[in-house]
Amino acid sequence: MPAPEPVCALDDPRLDELSGMVVHDGGLWASSDGGRSVQVHRIDRTDCRVIDTRTADVDPYDVEDLALGPDGEIWAADLGDNERRRDTVAVVVLPERGEPRLHRLTYPDGPHDAEALLVDSHGRPFVITKEVGRPAGLYRTAEPPQGEGPTPLLPVGELALPVSDTLGGPVGGIGTRLVTGAARSADGAVVAVRTYTDAWLFPVSDGDLVAAFNQTPVRVPLPDEPQGEALAFEPDGALLSGSETRGGVPGEIRTVAGATALAGEPVAVAPLPPAPEIVPDPGPPPWLPAALGGGAVVGVLLLVTAAASLRGRSRR
């Protein structure tokens, strides 16, 4: 497996919290967490210098990733929700020309924290949640979102990443399974998700992202990143990874040559069975508390009787 090679170190404070990257028309674009407006910066690969910026007059909550739409528009993923309290999340679409578009999204099962976004070939946002101690959730809209919404997200699957022994990241071993970013290759044939320590490559057939995530991925170790959250593919198949600046260690962009070739060919995946009907839990029958209480009384009486019997025997 090829090791990541340095591209450039980040010393611009606008990229101290690098969280997302995409490559479009040969340009490398990146965004950071935080801020009072959506800002996407074009980076010079030789020195990580910011050479252009696209903005949207939208006050985001927590932009965590970038994705590229089928028509080349850059999507900013305002999906962060560490405390899991947001009623809606959002994507902001930044076209090369024209006005940005805001689309709010809602989960069907309550708030989630998420740091990874893909956009499929139909223009539908595909969200991968960041879960601790359980598989990541996969959510997608039924159709491309129109207007501010909110547009419902639908649950389409789960992603349980394999175990990894790669070292790095801010939270130790638990970080090897926390999804912090995603990327799609230029031809759409490979998708990748990343954690704080690794990238995982999945081959894609006919643009079906759900089927792709049901296959066994190929691991690309990304060791020793202070807080790796950004991921992107070059047109030639190289994989770019990027880290925040953390604990005095500057962030850096690195590349893994020929990554798309490592993913292999997609294999046939059986369609998922329909989800079982969810029947509400009726709760305990009304007689159960009384029965448990009566049983407890009977049990106490039996214990008292047994104890008295033992005391009587011990006196003999």
CA–CA dist 137, 156 (Å, integer): 8
Tokens at residue 159, please? 């992603």
- Cα Rg of the chain (Å, integer): 25
Pair 255, 155 in one domain:
yes
* 80, 184: one domain: yes
CB 46 within 8 A of CB 39: no
Report the number of distinct structural domains present in the chain. 2
What is the pLDDT, as a whole number, of residue 35? 83
pLDDT-derived band at 34, boundaries 50, 70, 90: confident
Residue-range definition of the domain harbouring residue 236: 5-262
Are 68 and 197 part of one and the same domain? yes
Q: Is position 272 within any domain?
A: no
Question: What pLDDT does residue 267 have?
Answer: 64
Is residue 56 in a domain? Answer: yes
Asked whether residue 267 is assigned to any structural domain, the reply reads no
DSSP SS3 for 213: coil
Averaged pLDDT for residues 130-159:
97
Q: Looking at the DSSP assignment, which residues form a beta bridge with residue 22?
A: 29
Question: Does pLDDT of 245 surpass 80?
Answer: yes
CATH number of the CATH domain containing 64: 2.120.10
Q: Using alpha carbons only, give the angle 21, 23, 28 rounded to the nearest 5 degrees.
A: 70
- Same-domain check for residues 73 and 46: yes
Does the residue 269 lie in any domain?
no
Residues 231, 304 within the same domain: no
Residues 248-291: tens digit of each pLDDT: 899 999 999 999 999 987 765 444 444 344 333 343 444 333 33
32-43: average pLDDT: 92
Q: Is residue 271 part of a domain?
A: no
Domain boundary among 217, 234, 262: 262
Pair 293, 203 in one domain: no
Query: Residue 308 — pLDDT band, cuts 50, 70, 90?
Result: very low
Count the neighbouring beta carbons within 10 Å of the beta carbon of residue 92: 20
Reading the block at residue 105, the tokens are: 């999204």
Same domain, 301 and 211: no
The verdict on 176 and 255 lying in the same domain is yes
For residues 287 and 295, give the distance between their C-alpha atoms in angstroms, rounded to a whole number.
12
